Amino acid sequence: MANFEITGKTSLCGEIRVSGAKNEALKLISLAVLVPDEFVLDNVPRLKDVMTQLEIFEALGGKYKFEDSKLTLNSNEINSAEIPDELSGKLRASIVYAGSLLSRFGRAKIPCPGGCVIGSRSVETHLDAFRQAGVLVKDRDGCFNLTSSDGTDDLDIKLCEKSVTATENIILYLSVGQRRARVSNIAIEPEIMHLIESINQSGGDIIFDGDNQVVIKGVPSLKSSSTIVIPDRIEAGTFAIAIAVTGGEGSVFPYPSKYLEALTDQLISCGINIRIENDRAIIGKSDKIKPFSIKTEPYPGFPTDLQSPMSLVASVANGESAINEAMFDNRLGYLNELKGMGLNVEILNKHEAKIFGPAKLAPGVIDSMDLRSGITLLIAAMMAEGKTILKDAEIIDRGYENIEKKLNNAGAKIVRVE
């Protein structure tokens, strides 16, 4: 495993470019199972998780060509509906193959998915939605065997909770076939809305009715098409925070401001000097940063994936900030690493913490833990005077493309060491 060696203190200046959204690209690769001939994706980030999702695609019999950020997928020769165990364990998004494989083959074998250890992360919402759609679910040794039924009745499905990947799975399953279904209580993250758009561009018939529900009319088959992955809102928001907390001046481009209202509004009310011009966020020096209180929620609420970077805003704010991670029950562990660096933090329970700022962070040897904690700690290391070793750089590679190159171009001093 490689580590990062970061020399602080550095401020980020200039423009930082945002790649395509990881959590959309991964699902579009699953959609490719249902698209005949060529499915062409542009603005695809070259990330570890994307490469793993492609390994699964190949293991199923699919072919792909990845040139720069253009990915051409061909699923014509896919002949297996079974996700290999060793690959499934590497990422959460492997489960989103369930919907498309079930739709194409009438059955799918899905081992329990992997991904960051940030909470209990049950797959019950997925299984319950499939059952409501008439799918027979057998769970043997942590592996799910799914078999679809041949019914033609209209379906009325209600998700147990607004789960992102469960929403994607049920939509992928029902988009091809003979049924008409209303699915309510769905998650409406921008990556999901764009997945729906991509299915419709491929000949699907899905109508979003604006109230966390969709009406899906199964079509006999999809057709070859192309799409462009939307910018990664989590990466964009993280970079905006990084510029602000390192005391830099710069911009983030493209900054998908319409998907980042909860964050931008919060940063503005903390007194951070951020303004939006077209597709760019411009961040200037801020005078006095105010403490805040956030609670994570499904979109359009405050995103859980931006919860950990907000702790760095708390570290430069004057006073007591409160974080309520209402979604995951193991996503505050990184605060112990920040505590070791000198942050005054009190973890109240699995979901809540208080941070007393401002803090002068000190360098140290710290663990990346999970993807979003890892990027937070990388930025924290840039804020600390001296050399920090951040272990397990590959955890950050799962979701951030060329991270040290992007940040070094803006003034960071990050070296990857074996």
Q: Catalytic positions, please?
A: 116
Put the strands of the sheet holding 352-357 in their side by side order.
293-295, 319-324, 352-357, 344-347
Of positions 17, 121, 295, 387, contacts ligand EPU by CB under 6 A: 121
Q: Is 172 a residue that touches ligand EPU (CB under 6 A)?
A: no
Site for ligand EPU (CB under 6 A): which residue of 36, 89, 106, 119? 119
Q: What residues does 156 pair with on adjacent strands?
A: 182
Among 34, 164, 242, 306, the residue binding ligand EPU under the rule CB under 6 A is 164
Q: Is 397 in the site for ligand EPU (CB under 6 A)?
A: no
Q: Does 187 bind ligand EPU (CB under 6 A)?
A: yes
- Contact status, residue 96 vs residue 88, Cβ threshold 8 Å: no
Binding mask 69-88 for ligand EPU (x = CB under 6 A): --------------------
- Determine if 327 is a binding residue for ligand EPU (CB under 6 A): yes
Task: Check binding of 194 to ligand EPU (CB under 6 A).
Answer: no
Helices (H) and strands (E) in the chain, counts: 14, 23
Closer CB to ligand EPU, residue 164 or residue 383? Answer: 164
CB of 352 to ligand EPU, least distance (A): 14
Please name the helix (run of DSSP H) or strand (run of DSSP E) that holds residue 253, with its range, or none.
Answer: strand 249-253
Looking at the Cβ atoms of 32 and 219, the one nearer to ligand EPU is 32
Using the rule CB under 6 A, which residue among 52, 169, 238, 304 binds ligand EPU? 304
Checking 295-301 for CB contacts under 8 A at 24+ apart, the result is 295/324, 295/326, 296/324, 296/325, 296/326, 296/327, 297/326, 297/327, 298/162, 298/164, 298/187, 298/188, 298/189, 298/327, 299/187, 299/188, 299/189, 299/190, 299/259, 300/188, 300/261, 300/262, 301/262
42 binds ligand EPU (CB under 6 A): no
- What residue ranges bind ligand EPU (CB under 6 A)? 23, 26, 92-93, 116, 119, 121, 161-166, 187, 298, 304-305, 327-328, 371-372, 399
